[in-house]
């Protein structure tokens, strides 16, 4: 706003006075215009201080915990308060430093450092929880756990002090925290022993409301008061629903997610758009415009795709689809991708293990390709980091395609359709398999299914989930602990909310269905020869599991009943195998036969095979 200083003397002519008055009027008019167009200034510092104050508070509660001791009257009380304070700080703290945030509130398991070969002991809040509730830790080790965790808090606090809270950081961090509720809080992943995760989900929602009210609320009120009211009411309803029943085993996660949490995420998308202070980029795992985490487009495929093959054209996908069915990709024309990944069988093969190009058995079971694009490692042992690398390995494997990546079978071009497709897709006829592999990857990345009976019901599009299926979902997310490894909503081992890694687990799969001998496949152990990794395999998705058996890396189980029985008994450790590094959380699950059948009923609702279009060749 300009300020006009007007000087005049009493002896000036009248028209000079008129000009002065006119100038003043114009100045006042300008002031009025400036005021009308003023954009609300959001005080992000208030929210930033809120996050910092709570990480400080979490550390102070750990001080009280240390004074109380491992077996004190108020030990669990102070631990609970420390966790609640951390959950309030977690969105911003973990957004700024995902690795430290995850270690602070990650699983109480040793971590192998690939760069040094060292194994780091379990640390963080989950390790403290384990010590308190299991009472199997010395007071010296307990105090050390507190000391290390406070050190992690200090690192997170330093980041929050040195890096300002901005609209981008606020909206991304909030999106991540909402997903934590869906995938980590509700499932017990955050609190596997104390089961405080249900209550903490209410803490996270209340914290979101607090930060919202201290930042962008005033702007939303001016633009859409109804949206502000419905958003705040939806949070209050969700919190009240949690307060009615915080019991871990009986909490109805299906109803809570569908009827209480999904409305919050829908309103949050509207709030972000209404605020209009940050435009999402294409660099995060999420589609920020998706109204829930269960949409067919909730996740950003480009984030999971190698940079050399993002945004493929329709022509490149069509070429990859045709190549998928062509046996001429293999050296002796005996194998194509479809040989092991049949659309009619959920892009698996229904065999215990498939056969190589000479008709001999391969080592491992064929996994489905559906939703495989949303992974950060490939093959059962996780030896390939990208799909491009995985497909290249199939070409190079002398038991599979046995074709050098840098050569190309001109026999393929005898089908003149290929000449046109290659030119349209890549501008030239190939001289090697580089573009062949890219095209295959582009096609496989389209084989995604997020419109199953479950998805349509959790989104509220259908209302035909049976009581048994609902019970099965609640067990999957709760008592049975399935979702602590098969994270919702992808149901795979790709870890939310950052999706930078796909988990591998040691579960002790037997050699045969008799369950009397441990399988001798060492899995991920091959890479570092570290005992911690013996028998370690990637956690696959369970979507379409009803049609993609047999199960496990060696196809040992033919039915889902066999699989549920294995986990219910406690995995390999429960079968009596000597497994020092098994990663399953308990010896057994104590699931009844009715409960196991309910979980299977739920798993069957996850079937959603992409439609076969006209480009596909007959089997």
Mean pLDDT confidence for 35-60: 84
**CATH for 203:** 1.20.1420.20
| Total count of domains within the chain | 3
DSSP calls for 533-601: GTTEEE----TTGGGS-SBSTT--BSSHHHHHHHHHTTHHHHTT---TT---SSS-----HHHHHHHHH
**101 and 226 share a domain?**
yes
8-state DSSP, 482: G
| Same domain (yes/no): 233, 123 | yes
**Residues 387 and 480 occupy one common structural domain:** no
Alpha helices per DSSP H over 386-522: 387-396, 416-426, 434-444, 453-458, 467-477
Nearest to 154 by CA among 165, 142, 162: 162
Take residue 549 and report the two structure tokens written for it: 């058996």
Is residue 274 situated within a structural domain? yes
Same domain, 406 and 542: no
Domain-embedded: residue 551: yes
Please, which pLDDT band fits residue 32 given cuts at 50, 70 and 90?
very low
Are 95 and 227 within one domain?
yes
CA dist 1 to 19, 21, 28, 43, 262, Å? 20, 18, 10, 22, 44
Q: Is the pLDDT of residue 225 over 50?
A: yes
* Alpha carbons 501 and 520: distance in angstroms, whole number: 26
Q: Are residues 319 and 177 in the same domain?
A: no
First and final CA of the chain: distance in angstroms?
74
Residue 231 counted as domain residue: yes
Give residue 14's pLDDT band: very low, low, confident or very high (50, 70, 90): very low
- Inside any domain, residue 486: yes
Count of alpha carbons within 13 angstroms of residue 571, beta-carbon side: 22
Helix (H) or strand (E) holding 111: strand 111-112
Instruction: Confirm whether 291 is domain-assigned.
Output: no
Q: Model confidence at 74, in pLDDT bands (50, 70, 90)?
A: very high
**Cβ–Cβ under 8 Å, residues 264 and 257:** no
CB 541 within 8 A of CB 486: yes
- Answer whether residue 326 is part of any domain: yes
Q: Are residues 382 and 527 in the same domain?
A: no
Q: Are residues 508 and 558 in the same domain?
A: yes
* 411 and 472, same domain (yes or no): no
Where among 254, 279, 304 does a domain terminate?
279
CATH of the domain at 598: 1.10.760.10
Backbone CA torsion sign across 489, 493, 496, 500 = negative
Tens of pLDDT, residues 522-580: 999 999 999 999 999 999 999 999 999 999 999 999 999 999 999 999 999 999 999 99
Q: Is residue 612 in some structural domain? A: no
More confident residue, 404 or 205: 205
Given 222, 254, 279, the domain boundary residue is 279
Predicted confidence at residue 10, as pLDDT, reads 36
Residue 307 in any domain: the answer is no
Query: Over 60: is that where the pLDDT of 617 sits?
Result: no
Structure tokens that stand for 508 in this block: 């002790």
Residue 73 reports pLDDT greater than 70: yes
**Residues 331 and 190 grouped into a single domain:** no
Whether residues 141 and 210 share a domain: the answer is yes
Where in the sequence is the domain holding 367, given as residue range(s)? 314-446
Q: Are residues 116 and 255 in the same domain?
A: yes
For 163, the token pair is: 């890096």
Helices (runs of H) and strands (runs of E) counted in the chain: 24, 4
If phi over 0 gives left and psi between -120 and 50 gives alpha, with beta otherwise, what is residue 523? left
d(CA 310, CA 387): 12
Last residue of a domain, one of 279, 302, 325: 279
Query: Which of 291, 296, 603 lies closest to 477 in space, CA to CA?
Result: 603
- Whether the link from the prior residue into 489 is cis, omega within 30° of 0, is yes
């Amino acid at each position: 706003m300009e300020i006009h200083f007007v000087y005049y003397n009493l002896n000036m002519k009248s028209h000079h006075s008129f000009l002065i008055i006119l100038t003043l009027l114009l100045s006042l008019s300008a002031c009025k215009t400036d005021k009308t167009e003023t954009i609300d200034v959001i005080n992000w510092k208030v929210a930033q201080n809120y996050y910092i104050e709570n990480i400080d508070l979490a550390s102070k509660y750990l001080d009280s915990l240390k004074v109380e001791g491992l077996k004190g009257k108020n030990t669990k009380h102070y631990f609970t308060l420390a966790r609640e304070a951390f959950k309030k700080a977690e969105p911003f703290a973990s957004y700024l430093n995902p690795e430290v945030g995850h270690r602070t509130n990650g699983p109480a398991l040793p971590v192998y450092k690939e760069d040094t070969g060292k194994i780091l002991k379990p640390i963080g809040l989950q390790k403290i929880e384990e010590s308190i509730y299991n009472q199997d830790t010395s007071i010296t080790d307990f105090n050390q756990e507190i000391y290390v965790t406070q050190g992690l808090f200090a690192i997170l606090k330093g980041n929050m002090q040195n890096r300002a809270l901005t609209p981008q950081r606020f909206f991304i961090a909030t999106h991540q925290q909402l997903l934590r509720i869906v995938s980590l809080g509700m499932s017990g992943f955050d609190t596997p022993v104390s089961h405080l995760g249900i209550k903490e989900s209410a803490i996270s929602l209340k914290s979101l409301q607090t930060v919202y009210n201290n930042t962008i609320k005033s702007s939303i009120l001016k633009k859409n008061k109804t949206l502000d009211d419905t958003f705040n009411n939806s949070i209050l309803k969700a919190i009240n629903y949690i307060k009615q029943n915080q019991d871990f085993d009986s909490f109805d996660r299906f109803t809570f997610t569908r009827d209480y949490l999904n409305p919050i995420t829908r309103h949050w998308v509207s709030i972000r758009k209404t605020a209009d202070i940050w435009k999402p980029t294409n660099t995060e795992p999420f589609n920020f415009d998706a109204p829930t985490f269960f949409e067919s487009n909730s996740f950003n495929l480009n984030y999971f795709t190698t940079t050399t093959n993002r945004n493929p054209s329709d022509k490149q996908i069509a070429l990859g689809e045709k190549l998928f069915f062509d046996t001429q990709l293999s050296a002796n024309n005996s194998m194509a991708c479809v040989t092991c990944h049949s659309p009619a069988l959920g892009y698996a093969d229904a065999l215990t293990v498939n056969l190589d190009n000479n008709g001999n058995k391969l080592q491992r079971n064929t996994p489905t390709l559906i939703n495989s694009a949303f992974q950060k490692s490939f093959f059962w042992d996780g030896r390939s980091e990208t799909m491009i690398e995985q497909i290249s390995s199939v070409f190079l494997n002398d038991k599979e395609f046995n074709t050098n990546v840098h050569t190309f079978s001109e026999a393929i071009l005898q089908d003149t359709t290929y000449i046109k497709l290659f030119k349209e897709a890549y501008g030239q006829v190939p001289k090697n398999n580089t573009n062949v592999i890219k095209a295959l990857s582009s096609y496989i990345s389209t084989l995604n299914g997020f419109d199953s009976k479950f998805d349509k019901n959790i989104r509220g599009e259908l209302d035909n989930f049976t009581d048994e299926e609902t019970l099965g979902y609640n067990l999957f997310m709760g008592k049975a602990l399935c979702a602590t490894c098969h994270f919702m909503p992808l149901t795979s081992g790709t870890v939310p909310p950052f999706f930078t890694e796909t988990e591998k687990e040691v579960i002790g799969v037997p050699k045969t269905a008799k369950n009397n001998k441990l399988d001798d496949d060492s899995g991920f152990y091959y890479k570092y020869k570290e005992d911690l990794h013996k028998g370690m395999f990637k956690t696959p998705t369970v979507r379409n599991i009803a049609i993609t058996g047999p199960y496990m890396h060696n196809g040992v189980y033919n039915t889902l009943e066999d699989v549920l029985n294995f986990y219910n008994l406690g995995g390999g450790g429960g079968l009596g195998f000597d497994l020092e590094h098994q990663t399953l959380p308990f010896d057994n699950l104590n699931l009844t036969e009715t409960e196991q059948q309910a979980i299977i009923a739920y798993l069957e609702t996850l079937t959603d095979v992409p439609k076969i279009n006209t480009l596909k060749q007959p089997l």
